[in-house]
Amino acid sequence: MLKPFESISIEDWDWAIRTNLSSCFYLAHHVVPAMKERMWGRVIHVSGFDGFTGHIVNRAYNIAAKAGMHGFSKALGRELGPFGITANTVVPGAIDTERDWSQYPVRNEEATRNAIPVRRIGHVDDIAYACVYLCTTGSFVNGQAIHLNGGQYMF
């Protein structure tokens, strides 16, 4: 939800952190022991580019949670790499998917498409292919953010 910082309640903050960041911790907490035992594993967090750009006002709690997801990926990648486990973040940009458009106050699909150098909105398959890459041939990618935004934002 869009909320100015002063309107974010403790419950709002806790919800955003729990939904975005704590869920990453809970999942890793349960799967990492088996990954370490096998000496192989892939942890992939799917974040959002607002955690890198901060481009939408009135979403401080979401931006902080999304940025925290990538920080957690880096921490896991550093600590678990010696066990054959990589941890990365996939960061979708404008993707053609169902969402609550009320959270995006200005929506102009043509302008969005024109702002993307490849001149198209992404597809959910773009996200899936990045995850497949990380799980298969991307074994040397660790602690990174893979930005899937057609070049709209370049980091």
Q: Whole-angstrom Cα distance, residue 90 to residue 82?
A: 22
Let me know if residue 131 belongs to a domain. Answer: yes
Angle subtended at Cα 65 by Cα 63 and Cα 69, rounded to the nearest 5 degrees? 115
Q: How many domains does the chain have?
A: 1
Q: Mark the ranges of the chain whose per-residue pLDDT is less than 50.
A: none
Let me know if residue 155 belongs to a domain. Answer: no
The 10s digit of each residue's pLDDT in 128-151 is 999 999 999 999 999 999 999 999
Let me know if residue 38 belongs to a domain. Answer: yes
Quote the pLDDT of residue 112: 86
Let me know if residue 88 belongs to a domain. Answer: yes
Quote the pLDDT of residue 99: 75
Quote the pLDDT of residue 55: 83
Domain extent, residue 141, equals: 5-148
Q: Would you state the structure tokens that stand for residue 133, as one six-digit string?
A: 């890459």
Contact between residue 97 and residue 123 where contact means Cβ atoms under 8 Å apart: no
The 10s digit of each residue's pLDDT in 35-48 is 999 999 999 999 98
Quote the pLDDT of residue 97: 85
Site of tokens 């995006």: 104
**What's the CATH number where 14 sits?**
3.40.50.720
DSSP H helical segments within the chain, as ranges? 10-16, 23-38, 50-53, 60-80, 109-115, 124-135
Let me know if residue 21 belongs to a domain. Answer: yes
Residues marked as catalytic: 61
Residue 41 has φ and ψ, to the nearest 5°, of: 180, 160
DSSP states along 105-121: S---HHHHHHHSTT-S-
Let me know if residue 153 belongs to a domain. Answer: no
Among candidate residues 41, 125, 54, the one with its CA nearest the CA of residue 90 = 125
Quote the pLDDT of residue 108: 80
Contact between residue 40 and residue 84 where contact means Cβ atoms under 8 Å apart: yes
Rg (the chain; Cα; Å): 17
Quote the pLDDT of residue 103: 67
